[in-house]
Amino acid sequence: MAKEVKTLMSIISKYIARKFWGPFLFILCIFCLLVFLSDTIEKIRWINSYSTTLRMVLKYSIFTMPAWVVQMLPIACLLSAILVITDMISSGEWTACLAGGFTVRQIFKPLLICIAFVALCGFAVQEFIVPDLSKSAELIFQRKIKGDKNWYFNVQNDVTLRLDDKRILFAKQVKADAGIMEGMFIDIYSKDLALIKQIQAKRFVWDDLQKLWVFEDGIIRNFGKEAKVTEEPFKKLLSDYTVAPSEIAMGKTDANFLSIREIIRRIKFLEQSGLKITQEHTFLQTKLAAPFVTIIVCLLGMPLAIALKRSSKMLNIVAAIAIGFSFWWLVSVLSSAGQSGMLPAWLAAWGPVVVFAAVIYFEFKKLRI
């Protein structure tokens, strides 16, 4: 008897899970189409502003789509789960399951497994697909649409870096992706923080064969006692600075441009250089919390389909959208607060998850789920 009950539960669970995927894929496709069309229409003005082509605009919109998809997954999952629950209630399947000995949690379980799978897939897309495509989209915008052929992604002007406890580097421009620093000099200090040497060069270039940076066209200045200064020009001078260009974190930062691995590498570099890392820590915690956000949003809204079971499907859909966008708005606001340093990074990213997990606990308890 127990085996038959277990088999029946497995069959019904698979049935509920299959009901989830149809609405989910349909809703996600509709959202993607709406976002793509609205984004493309909004970007059409670039054709006149930058004398570009429709092909370039469409290519840019396609490359930015995965980032939009990841953001739409929580609402698509929530709407799909509510549609499944509402459909089961209206068809009498919900009552039949409860009469057959199923609990609400057992009915929710296959839906939550599907949602967790979607959340993990979204996490993988966020980590392995979105950064590269977002960078490609930015390159298309800067080089193909705006026409700036000399634009580099990882570039920053007027840079100050602490190489170690005794050396500080200054550069007018750092093109990390190209492995070039221009208009630079390095101040070298003694143990008592007295300036003893300065190396000034037109360029600081990465030598990929020797795996180190090379000074080009510069001067070595030695500061002796009694303000005595000696200068020694050079064409090329090998340095002992071996941090590869790919490890140097410069230029424009955006969560969509960075994977978790790149954020960790960026944090490490900025810490060594004595630079601010508030934004990067918030990016890291927000990305780690993203799968849990999807699950929390769905758990928050799914009981509404039961509480409003006598209401129309449209009311349930409106309620789901309101919950999804409200949660997304709160996450965005707290993330911005974390990036600006108003809140600790962990609190900005995990605060909504913890708070609404508590809300879900009391919601399930009140509805006896």
Measured distance CA(359)–CA(285) in Å, rounded: 21
H helix intervals, 185-312 = 260-273, 278-307
Split at pLDDT 50, 70, 90, the class of 310 is: low
CA distances, 14 to each of 8, 11, 20, 118, 298 (Å): 10, 5, 10, 16, 19
Q: Can you give the three-state secondary structure of 30-91, one letter per residue?
A: HHHHHHHHHHHHHHCCHHHHCCCCHHHHHHHHHHHHHHHHHHHHHHHHHHHHHHHHHHHHHH
Higher-pLDDT residue of 219, 309: 219
- CA nearest 224: which of 251, 195, 253, 247? 195
Answer whether 182's CB lies under 8 Å from 171's CB: yes
Question: Is residue 159 a contact partner of residue 167, using CB atoms and an 8 Å limit?
Answer: no
Q: Tell me what pLDDT residue 268 has.
A: 87
pLDDT of residue 2: 58
Exposure pattern of 321-334 as b/e (b: 16+ CB <10 Å)? eebbeebbeebeeb
Structure-token match 């960078």, residue found? 135
**Mean pLDDT within 83-103:** 87
pLDDT at 234: 95
- What is the C-alpha separation between 252 and 142, in angstroms, rounded? 12
Q: Which of 257, 240, 235, 40 is nearest to 129 (CA)?
A: 257
- pLDDT for 127: 94
In this model, does residue 317 exceed pLDDT 90?
no
- Return the top range by mean pLDDT from 15-19, 147-151, 164-168, 338-342: 15-19
**What band does 311 get if pLDDT is binned at 50, 70 and 90?**
low
* 71 vs 226, more confident: 71
Give the model's pLDDT for residue 292: 93
Region 56-73: mean pLDDT is 94
Task: Say what the pLDDT of residue 288 is.
Answer: 95
- Look up the pTM and report it: 0.84
pLDDT at 255: 87
Question: pLDDT tens for residues 5-53?
Answer: 677 778 888 999 999 999 999 999 999 999 999 999 999 989 888 888 9
Q: pLDDT tens-digit profile of 252-298?
A: 578 899 999 989 988 988 887 777 788 999 999 999 999 999 999 99
Q: What is the pLDDT of residue 69?
A: 95
- Section 230-246 average pLDDT: 92
Whole-number percent of the chain with pLDDT over 70: 95
Compute the average pLDDT of residues 60-89.
Answer: 92
* Structure-token pair, residue 239: 């340095």
Position 214 scores a pLDDT of 96
315 pLDDT more than 80: no
Q: For residues 60 and 125, give the distance between their C-alpha atoms in angstroms, rounded to a whole number.
A: 18
Average pLDDT, the chain: 88
Of the candidates 367, 304, 300, 307, the residue with the CA atom closest to the CA atom of residue 331 = 300
**Rama region for 230: left / alpha / beta (φ>0; ψ in -120 to 50; rest):** beta
- What is the predicted pLDDT for the residue at 305? 78
Q: What is the mean pLDDT of residues 86-100?
A: 87
> Tell me, what's the pLDDT at 28?
95
CB 169 within 8 A of CB 175: no
Asked if 313 and 340 touch (Cβ cutoff 8 Å), the reply is no
pLDDT at 156: 83
Residue 307 has pLDDT above 80, yes or no: no
**Residue 99 φ/ψ, nearest 5 degrees:** -70, -30
User: Which is it for the CA torsion 337, 342, 348, 352, positive or negative?
Assistant: negative
Amino acid at 320: A
